[in-house]
Amino acid sequence: MRITRLTAGAAGLAGLSLVLAACGGTEADGDAAAGGGGSTEEAGDITLTVATFNEFGYEELLDEYMAENPGITVEHKKAATSNEARDNMNTRLAAGSGLADVEAIEVDWLPELMQYPDQFVDLADPELEGRWLDWKVEQATTADGKLIGYGTDIGPEAVAYRSDLFAEAGLPTDREEVAELLEGDWETYFEVGRQFAESSDVPWFDSAQATYQGMVNQLPNAYEETDGTAKDLAENSDVKALYDQVLTAAVDDGLSAGLEQWGEDWTNAFQNDGFATMLAPGWMLGVIEGNAAGVEGWDIADVFPGGGGNWGGSFLTVPAQGEHPEEAKALAAWLTAPEQQVKAFISKGTFPSQVEALESEELLGQTNAFFNDAPTGEILANRAEAVSVTPFKGPNYFAIHLAVSDAIVRVDANGTDDAATSWEKALTAFDELGL
Amino acid sequence: MAVTTPAPPTPAPSRPTARRDTGPRGLRQRLARWDVTFSPYLYIAPFFLVFAVAGLFPIVYTAYVSVHDWHLIGGQGGFVGLQNYVDVLTQPRFLTALRNTFSIFLLSSVPQLIVAIVVAAVLDANLRAKTFWRMGVLLPYVVAPVAVALIFSKMFADQSGLINTVLAGVGLDPIGWHSDPLASHVAIATMVNFRWTGYNTLILLAAMQAVPRDLYEAAVIDGAGRLRQFLSVTVPMLRPTLIFVVITSTIGGLQIFDEPRMFDTLGQGGADRQWMTVTMYLYELGWGAQKSFGRASAVAWILFLIIVAIGLLNFALTRKIASAGAATKGGAK
């Protein structure tokens, strides 16, 4: 009796201490080693954590880094989606602890994070000047000149098209001729669409909302002034003009397939000749290839309506809460160096943002079998150089953009409103933001 | 434990002087008395401690946040009184969210309970392979909501979906599952019903099996058929369980989030917020564009108050029904 009670007590205690240890373990996870708490480590050995999402193509690079830098262990934490990574980032920034030493962020999150520059280590480094495309650096630089992220990839946009459908409609199919045909502003793109529509039943583009996204990314100050104050949407004639232009082409001229990007119907439309062209940033090529598996005829033209455009791209930041900012900064700098980014591009298709990488033979020689052996490396490098405008995206950019793009979806995809009533609803949504 | 277990071998109650003893026996006795008085509370204390930490504190803290300016990353701002509540209540979007929530709740709870009670009655009958059928109805509940949403969003796709293809096949117009508010509510309610009907069926089945069998025998002797037995014996006897099921499904229904959020890829409830529920609205305020924890907390509290109000209404109705039931029983005798 006595013995059993004792053993039970001991077991209970052991269990409890196990639980406690486990709790302590997860709490201290990253910084136990970093803070010198790990007793088995030699002095000088440190562990750095790198948090990324989706595919950055860093697996082999990190092994390479560890081999080159004895004494540094790099742990890779990978989130499945960028949303997951973003929630994690926001929550832990607010909590003041728990972030990795190097955190990857998407360009879309920058505006809100730039409001808290104190949370990040200033990465500006004279030695790295000129490494990236100017506009890439500009995106991550605060008003007073602090650089909060090193650029990784970018999303230079081209036009992907179905050469077989072009042929049926009597349009040129060769990618150079198509580029010539589409060269010009958005009106040219829509005009060619009208020509196409005359001899084909297939819609010209996939979605008015996606097309609008390409258009609005060419306005330097779409929704906000450079000092961050929001423009009154009701008076915003630039945006209203794009809104009217895209909806006239989409609905009145019937050029749009009326799909919502990423929706079920959109994904399925790749398989049944849903549309003939779409705006495609570099990373979209993989998406098209996946959705349109088995469909022949996709090609990519070295052209973008209205000049160049960029959609997406990421940065590596070093949160100020980390224990080893210097080492983390060095790792981030190494990972975003041209040589490494070219390797990441070859491994996972993330298109580099480094000037030198864009000239690399390896990158320029890259072709894509799915897109009829198009020289994607060269085309995307040209597209990246054509980007001339850095759209200003302040803290309210996405809220206002959502109000407008919802309005477009209502007209183009849902058909529940006409352009005028839907715009009124967008104005109401804008007012609700209380800016 | 070790201190209280060696109880006094000879009980003291017969000796009144024992109370005044200051020796070990008195201590023992006092401990024994405390054991009786306080131990039960200690035994149930863990629940209340956990509740205080994981339930009560967040509720109170949310109230505190809701009267402040509070940014997701920036943290606490100034005290603003009830401004956040006013902001939320004056936004048309809040009313849309409320409309959607109640619509989806009614479209899911009402048919669900009716189907559940009928299925439970069927399962209560003498079936072969009872366990197989009973486990079978619970199967959809095991499927993760996200998986359910993925499957159903394929079926309910507007252009390429299974249901619209079938409708077109029989010459009907396709339904705008993602554009018409009511159609989107029906689609979401279908997902909810798919998952929860079986769960409620099992609860009702358990209650049905507790109905004394002699009641049915008496009913049969009185000449009641199957349907009559079901309506006059089974349903009235299920009343307390039904009330429980109604209350839990009300709470669940008003907090619905997963299914509508997974209904399209953007997860914001449609371009016109056709199917944005109150919890999705809360999420949009806190983690979406506005990043205002203050307003999000205000919504959380408004939702809490709505649920409490409906709970009280439920309670009042329940008492009424229960007393009415008692009265008719009394009258029958």
E strand spans, B141-269:
none
For residue B91, give the chain A residue with the closest CA: A432
The minimal CB distance from B289 to the residues A116, A264, A399 is found for: A399
C-alpha–C-alpha distance, residues B315 and B323, integer Å: 12
Q: Is B183 on the interface with A (CB under 8 A)?
A: no
C-alpha–C-alpha distance, residues A132 and A151, integer Å: 7
What the block records as the tokens of A60 is 């082999």
pLDDT at A11 over 50: no
Q: Which amino acid is at B149?
A: A
Q: Going by C-beta distance under 8 Å and a sequence separation of 6 or more, which residues neighbour residue B183?
A: B175, B176, B177
Q: How far is CA B171 from CA B14, B159, B167, B168, in A?
A: 92, 15, 6, 5
Q: Is B75 on the interface with A (CB under 8 A)?
A: yes
- Host H or E run for residue A150: strand A150-162
C-alpha–C-alpha distance, residues A275 and A269, integer Å: 7
E strand spans, A94-145:
102-106
Q: Which of A420, A393, A422, A390 is nearest to A406 (CA)?
A: A422
C-alpha–C-alpha distance, residues B333 and B324, integer Å: 14
The minimal CB distance from B157 to the residues A119, A268, A399 is found for: A268
Chain-chain contact of B74 with A410 (C-beta, under 8 angstroms) = no
For residue A417, give the chain B residue with the closest CA: B272
Q: Which of B285, B303, B276 is nearest to B96 (CA)?
A: B276
Q: How far is B275 from chain A (nearest CA, A)?
A: 13
For residue A257, give the chain B residue with the closest CA: B159
Q: Which amino acid is at A169?
A: A
Structural domains of chain B, with CATH = 91-291 (1.10.3720.10)
- C-beta of residue A433 within 8 angstroms of C-beta of residue A400: yes
For residue B153, give the chain A residue with the closest CA: A264
C-alpha–C-alpha distance, residues A130 and A134, integer Å: 8
Chain-chain contact of A265 with B160 (C-beta, under 8 angstroms) = yes
Q: Is B159 on the interface with A (CB under 8 A)?
A: yes
Q: How far is B271 from chain A (nearest CA, A)?
A: 5
Place of tokens 């009786």: B36
Chain-chain contact of B289 with A398 (C-beta, under 8 angstroms) = yes
DSSP string, B174-208: PP-TTTSHHHHHHHHHHHHHHHHHHHHHHHHHHHH
The minimal CB distance from A112 to the residues B176, B180, B291 is found for: B291
What the block records as the tokens of A103 is 């955190």
How big is the CA angle at A65 (ends A367 and A351), to the nearest 5 degrees?
Answer: 25
> Which of the residues B3, B73, B95 would you substitute to probe the A interface, choosing the one with the greatest number of A C-beta atoms within 10 Å?
B73
The residue-averaged pLDDT of A348-372 equals 90
Instruction: Give the tens place of pLDDT for each residue, A368-395.
Output: 999 999 999 999 999 998 998 888 888 8
Chain B residues within an 8 Å CB radius of A103: none
Q: How far is B92 from chain A (nearest CA, A)?
A: 8
C-alpha–C-alpha distance, residues A348 and A247, integer Å: 35
Chain-chain contact of B268 with A264 (C-beta, under 8 angstroms) = no
Q: Which of B291, B296, B256, B298 is nearest to B276 (CA)?
A: B256
State the DSSP code for A75: E
Chain A residues within an 8 Å CB radius of B272: 406, 410, 414, 416-417, 425
Instruction: Give the tens place of pLDDT for each residue, A224-243.
Output: 998 889 999 999 999 999 99
Using CA atoms in the order A285, A291, A293, A295, what is the torsion angle rounded to 10 degrees? -90
Phi then psi for A433, rounded to 5 degrees? -65, -20
What the block records as the tokens of B80 is 């603003």
Q: Which of B64, B70, B65 is nearest to B292 (CA)?
A: B70
Q: Is B93 on the interface with A (CB under 8 A)?
A: yes
C-alpha–C-alpha distance, residues A390 and A219, integer Å: 8
Chain-chain contact of A260 with B264 (C-beta, under 8 angstroms) = yes
> Which of the residues B158, B164, B261, B283 would you substitute to probe the A interface, choosing the one with the greatest number of A C-beta atoms within 10 Å?
B158
DSSP β-bridge partners for residue A354 = A132
3-state helix, strand, coil in chain B (%, to 5): 70, 5, 25
Band the pLDDT of A144: cuts 50, 70, 90.
confident
DSSP string, A45-92: -EEEEEEEES----HHHHHHHHHHSTTEEEEEEEESSHHHHHHHHHHH
C-alpha–C-alpha distance, residues A402 and B213, integer Å: 61
Place of tokens 């440190």: A46
pLDDT at A1 over 70: no
C-alpha–C-alpha distance, residues A247 and A295, integer Å: 29
Instruction: Give the tens place of pLDDT for each residue, B127-171.
Output: 888 889 988 999 999 888 888 888 898 899 988 899 999 999 999
Structural domains of chain A, with CATH = 21-153+312-364 (3.40.190.10), 157-307+391-433 (3.40.190.10)
Phi then psi for A294, rounded to 5 degrees? 90, -15
Q: Which amino acid is at B43?
A: Y
Q: Is B178 on the interface with A (CB under 8 A)?
A: yes
For residue A435, give the chain B residue with the closest CA: B290
Rounded to a whole number, what is the distance in angstroms from the first to the last CA of chain A? 72
Chain-chain contact of B159 with A269 (C-beta, under 8 angstroms) = yes
For residue B73, give the chain A residue with the closest CA: A94
- C-beta of residue A120 within 8 angstroms of C-beta of residue A148: yes
Chain-chain contact of B87 with A434 (C-beta, under 8 angstroms) = yes
What the block records as the tokens of A291 is 């959705």
Cβ neighbours around A374 below 10 Å, total: 23
Instruction: Give the tens place of pLDDT for each residue, A41-81.
Output: 444 689 999 999 888 889 899 999 999 999 999 999 988 77
- C-beta of residue B139 within 8 angstroms of C-beta of residue B131: no
Chain-chain contact of A90 with B73 (C-beta, under 8 angstroms) = yes
Confidence at residue A389, expressed as pLDDT on a 0 to 100 scale: 86
Band the pLDDT of A111: cuts 50, 70, 90.
confident
C-alpha–C-alpha distance, residues B89 and B94, integer Å: 6
Confidence at residue B2, expressed as pLDDT on a 0 to 100 scale: 42
Chain-chain contact of A265 with B265 (C-beta, under 8 angstroms) = no
DSSP β-bridge partners for residue A351 = A154
Give, for all 333 residues of chain B, the pLDDT tens digit: 444 444 444 444 444 444 554 556 788 898 899 888 898 899 999 999 999 999 899 999 999 999 999 988 778 889 999 999 999 999 889 999 999 999 999 999 999 999 999 999 999 888 888 889 988 999 999 888 888 888 898 899 988 899 999 999 999 999 999 999 999 999 999 999 999 999 999 999 999 999 999 999 999 999 988 889 988 888 888 888 888 888 888 888 999 998 998 888 888 899 999 999 999 999 989 887 778 899 999 999 999 999 999 888 887 887 776 666 555 544 443
Q: Is B155 on the interface with A (CB under 8 A)?
A: no
Residue A164, CA atoms < 13 Å, CB-side half-sphere: 9
Chain-chain contact of B272 with A414 (C-beta, under 8 angstroms) = yes
Confidence at residue A403, expressed as pLDDT on a 0 to 100 scale: 93
Q: How far is B153 from chain A (nearest CA, A)?
A: 7
The residue-averaged pLDDT of A100-119 equals 89
Confidence at residue A94, expressed as pLDDT on a 0 to 100 scale: 82
C-alpha–C-alpha distance, residues B61 and A245, integer Å: 48
How big is the CA angle at B30 (ends B24 and B31), to the nearest 5 degrees?
Answer: 90
C-alpha–C-alpha distance, residues B105 and B189, integer Å: 8
What the block records as the tokens of A287 is 């998406």
Cβ neighbours around A235 below 10 Å, total: 8
E strand spans, A201-309:
277-281, 298-301
For residue A272, give the chain B residue with the closest CA: B160
CB contacts < 8 A (A, B): 84
- C-beta of residue B277 within 8 angstroms of C-beta of residue B257: yes
The yes/no answer to whether this complex scores an ipTM above 0.90 is no
C-alpha–C-alpha distance, residues A400 and A429, integer Å: 8
What does the mean pLDDT of chain A come to? 87
A151: left (phi over 0), alpha (psi -120 to 50) or beta: beta
